[in-house]
A and B are shown apart, each in its own frame.
Chain A
């Protein structure tokens, strides 16, 4: 017997959280996040904050790659734009805009700027696809980092040596501890995730999926590829810009080298591992990408001790272990962790009847 999710109206089917499990999961998660923010230890808060920032960017990549089927290896650039823009706007506006209102001005501006650059970078997607597009977007990463490092812009960006960032001040509340920052990251992360879930049930989201499944069929159906591909780029860049803004608020200084190719690849890796085109894919991906190296470190630390000698042996082994784990994941489940979790939940749901 299969437990179906009975829906008696279209309205029920159209809801963002369209069954009780999802509702329970989201409300439970909110409660867990509140408790964690209040009582989590410093170390876990730090790791969770890093995951939250990465998550928002991966949700953005998911819209582009997972839902619209366009590959990008340059989204680290948009994180950089968000981070630098929020800092530069913050510095330029200091004294003009009250400090307590600054994030409400600088963050939307930074996100809008990232989206605008996203549209520019997305233009090649109208002519090229697949690997060719990946290479074209790769250029974005190099160009943006090059411009940030240029002496011409150094008075604003700090050039190669980076720039100190501002402490966010929300209506007089200075978020100057990691715990407070985590609160903000958790709220923004959750809203971003729900917004992405909402997006795919709208006309725009369905257009993205149609383009992913076969772009010329989508065009025959009347979907404007120009409009929706660029919209997808703009939205994903905006998410990355938002992640960048939080990144700048979380760390006291930003350097161009933090946003280089490694970050772009990390974002794509997290998405592939978690599961493309699924709302929870980025969540699982980010957990794996951030937590597994930490767990390996703890495990190796427990086995070999944390002395300098052990550290010397541990460092390369950790990297190898992480690499092997990633390859195994991809070999065993190319649809990502989300698929594994789906299978487990389905089996649990149907238990004790058919599995799989």
Chain B
């Protein structure tokens, strides 16, 4: 290239501008990337396919709001088939191809979170949210870069047990799947029940799929429990257990945690097998999507859903699973934006510090009121009950904070 007067002036001007630009601005990339693994195939493909559109909506919403300090954010989602190893491979692949532009990641299971956790060191660390509420992850000392977008399963048990106590319950049964997900809050629940003066009369572990329902129901009947908490199921086993107990004529009140509280599943069960879920209750950290009068953020989602998903079932209803994902993304975005606003570089440590420091955050209606991050989790929720007649989960308690 020959240097003439014009190109010399242009080069000099550019060099001066570059030298005069503050360090932080020069370090800003053209875009930030947030990677995600979703179970688009495999046993939880139903959940993955319902959650995937949330990312498209999040991309539009966040970028319309100006991204992170004016830098747009791009989402890269990949299928994991609900296999933690695949999620880890996806994470490492995203890290290798996106480099420092990738400032966060979203994983699709407790297994994936635990598998990736020890990889989050030095250059390879990124802020990571997920679909998991595993109690072990809510510990900034051991998992400084990972967070939960709601209460841990242990906290959810605390909320349920407190609610049972308030209702005058005395004898509680725990039925849970023989998985890490199922076992997570059991020991803690036993202690909480003891503190509250409730008697745990049965701790029954079942297969996660294809459980021997009559045997478990018989044991439940023999235990004499007045309340039964179900944990560690998503689409199967828990409805069959409730159905079996009703056929048996058991008056036990059943309660579930987040993954057993999806309206779409409850509606499908009611349509296929009748209204036996009447009276089923459980803890839900978020408002349901139809309860958006006091939730301005949900109203924005509803408008966007109408535009983006017209003609699909997603047009009018967002599943609790998708809401959980959106909440996780909102928390990450708040941490990114807080970091950028403080004039700090978006390093994992800076973001983690801002994330851990989120306090009195008005989420726009996800939760009952302003919430704070404690031990990288948000310990709030309330009890909802299902009514098969109108197919709605409605509040049965005030918001609990644990």
Residues in A lying within 8 Å of B, measured CB to CB: 41-43, 45-47, 50, 160-162, 164-165, 178, 251-253, 255, 257-258, 262, 297, 306-309, 311-312, 314-316, 318-319
Please name all residues of chain B whose beta carbon is closer than 8 Å to the beta carbon of A161 when the two chains form the complex.
Answer: 114, 136, 180
Q: Which of B21-29, B49-57, B167-175 contacts A (4 or more CB under 8 A)?
A: B49-57
Q: Is the CB of A162 within 8 A of B115?
A: yes
Nearest CB in chain A to that of B75: its residue? A308
Residues in B lying within 8 Å of A, measured CB to CB: 36, 38, 40-41, 49, 52-56, 59, 75-79, 83-85, 88-89, 92-93, 95-97, 99, 111, 114-115, 117-119, 121, 136, 179-180
Complex-state Cα separation, A255 to B114, whole angstroms: 9
Q: Is the CB of A307 within 8 A of B119?
A: no
Contact A162:B93 (CB < 8 A) given known A251-B88, A312-B49? no
**Which listed residue, A43, A312, A315, touches B93 by the CB 8 Å rule?**
A43
Q: Is the CB of A252 within 8 A of B53?
A: no
14 contacts between A and B (CB under 8 A): A43-B93, A43-B97, A50-B89, A162-B115, A178-B92, A251-B88, A251-B115, A255-B84, A255-B115, A258-B85, A306-B76, A307-B77, A309-B56, A314-B79
Q: Is the CB of A311 within 8 A of B79?
A: yes
Contact A308:B52 (CB < 8 A) given known A46-B96, A315-B40? yes
Nearest CB in chain A to that of B38: its residue? A311
Please name all residues of chain B whose beta carbon is closer than 8 Å to the beta carbon of A164 when the two chains form the complex.
Answer: 118
Main secondary structure of the interface of B (DSSP, over half): helix
Please name all residues of chain A whose beta carbon is closer than 8 Å to the beta carbon of B53 when the two chains form the complex.
Answer: 308-309, 312
Complex-state Cα separation, A252 to B97, whole angstroms: 20
Complex-state Cα separation, A253 to B117, whole angstroms: 8
Please name all residues of chain A whose beta carbon is closer than 8 Å to the beta carbon of B115 when the two chains form the complex.
Answer: 162, 251, 253, 255
**Which listed residue, A253, A306, A312, A315, touches B114 by the CB 8 Å rule?**
A253
- 5 smallest A-B Cβ distances: which pairs? A315-B79, A308-B55, A252-B118, A315-B40, A42-B96
> Measured between C-beta atoms, what is the minimum distance from B138 to chain A in Å?
15
Complex-state Cα separation, A43 to B99, whole angstroms: 10
Q: Is the CB of A307 within 8 A of B114?
A: no
Nearest CB in chain B to that of A308: its residue? B55
Please name all residues of chain B whose beta carbon is closer than 8 Å to the beta carbon of A165 when the two chains form the complex.
Answer: 118
Q: Is the CB of B75 within 8 A of A307?
A: yes
Please name all residues of chain B whose beta carbon is closer than 8 Å to the beta carbon of A253 when the two chains form the complex.
Answer: 114-115, 117-119
> Measured between C-beta atoms, what is the minimum distance from A151 to chain B in Å?
11
Q: Is the CB of B111 within 8 A of A257?
A: yes
> Measured between C-beta atoms, what is the minimum distance from B128 to chain A in Å?
14
Q: Is the CB of A251 within 8 A of B119?
A: yes
Q: Is the CB of B59 within 8 A of A307?
A: yes
Please name all residues of chain B whose beta carbon is closer than 8 Å to the beta carbon of A257 when the two chains form the complex.
Answer: 83-85, 111
> Measured between C-beta atoms, what is the minimum distance from B242 to chain A in Å?
26
Q: How many A-B residue pairs have CB under 8 A?
A: 89
Complex-state Cα separation, A306 to B55, whole angstroms: 12
Please name all residues of chain A whose beta carbon is closer than 8 Å to the beta carbon of B75 when the two chains form the complex.
Answer: 307-308
**Which listed residue, A41, A306, A309, A318, touches B79 by the CB 8 Å rule?**
A318
Q: Is the CB of B180 within 8 A of A45?
A: no
Complex-state Cα separation, A164 to B121, whole angstroms: 13
Q: Is the CB of B88 within 8 A of A316?
A: no
> Measured between C-beta atoms, what is the minimum distance from B49 to chain A in Å?
6
Q: Is the CB of A43 within 8 A of B96?
A: yes
Contact A312:B117 (CB < 8 A) given known A161-B180, A258-B85? no
Contact A311:B52 (CB < 8 A) given known A46-B93, A316-B41, A318-B79? yes
Please name all residues of chain B whose beta carbon is closer than 8 Å to the beta carbon of A308 when the two chains form the complex.
Answer: 36, 52-56, 59, 75, 77
Contact A162:B96 (CB < 8 A) given known A251-B88, A308-B55, A312-B40? no
Complex-state Cα separation, A46 to B97, whole angstroms: 10
> Measured between C-beta atoms, what is the minimum distance from B167 to chain A in Å?
34
Q: Is the CB of B114 within 8 A of A162?
A: yes
Complex-state Cα separation, A162 to B53, whole angstroms: 32
Complex-state Cα separation, A312 to B78, whole angstroms: 8
Nearest CB in chain B to that of A313: its residue? B40
> Measured between C-beta atoms, what is the minimum distance from A135 to chain B in Å?
22
> Measured between C-beta atoms, what is the minimum distance from B62 to chain A in Å?
13
Complex-state Cα separation, A95 to B77, whole angstroms: 43
Contact A309:B52 (CB < 8 A) given known A42-B96, A315-B41? yes
Q: Is the CB of B40 within 8 A of A316?
A: yes
Complex-state Cα separation, A46 to B92, whole angstroms: 8
User: Beyond A46-B93, A311-B78, A311-B79: 7 further Cβ-contacts under 8 Å?
Assistant: A41-B96, A42-B99, A43-B97, A161-B136, A161-B180, A308-B75, A315-B78
Please name all residues of chain A whose beta carbon is closer than 8 Å to the beta carbon of B96 when the two chains form the complex.
Answer: 41-43, 45-46, 178
Complex-state Cα separation, A237 to B246, whole angstroms: 52
> Measured between C-beta atoms, what is the minimum distance from A246 to chain B in Å?
15
Nearest CB in chain A to that of B110: its residue? A161
Nearest CB in chain A to that of B119: its residue? A252
Please name all residues of chain A whose beta carbon is closer than 8 Å to the beta carbon of B54 when the two chains form the complex.
Answer: 308
Please name all residues of chain B whose beta carbon is closer than 8 Å to the beta carbon of A46 when the two chains form the complex.
Answer: 92-93, 96
Complex-state Cα separation, A109 to B100, whole angstroms: 39
> Measured between C-beta atoms, what is the minimum distance from A127 to chain B in Å?
33
Nearest CB in chain B to that of A253: its residue? B118
Nearest CB in chain A to that of B39: its residue? A315
Please name all residues of chain B whose beta carbon is closer than 8 Å to the beta carbon of A45 when the two chains form the complex.
Answer: 96
Complex-state Cα separation, A309 to B179, whole angstroms: 31
Please name all residues of chain A whose beta carbon is closer than 8 Å to the beta carbon of B77 when the two chains form the complex.
Answer: 306-308, 311-312
Complex-state Cα separation, A104 to B97, whole angstroms: 33
> Measured between C-beta atoms, what is the minimum distance from B274 to chain A in Å?
33
Complex-state Cα separation, A267 to B85, whole angstroms: 16
B59, B77, B97, B179 interface centre (most CB from chain A within 10 Å): B77
Please name all residues of chain A whose beta carbon is closer than 8 Å to the beta carbon of B97 when the two chains form the complex.
Answer: 42-43
Please name all residues of chain B whose beta carbon is closer than 8 Å to the beta carbon of A160 when the two chains form the complex.
Answer: 179-180
> Measured between C-beta atoms, what is the minimum distance from A53 to chain B in Å?
12
A45, A165, A307, A315 interface centre (most CB from chain B within 10 Å): A315
Complex-state Cα separation, A308 to B97, whole angstroms: 17
> Measured between C-beta atoms, what is the minimum distance from A185 to chain B in Å?
14
Complex-state Cα separation, A48 to B310, whole angstroms: 43
Please name all residues of chain A whose beta carbon is closer than 8 Å to the beta carbon of B36 when the two chains form the complex.
Answer: 308
Nearest CB in chain A to that of B33: its residue? A306
**Which listed residue, A178, A251, A258, A307, touches B56 by the CB 8 Å rule?**
A307
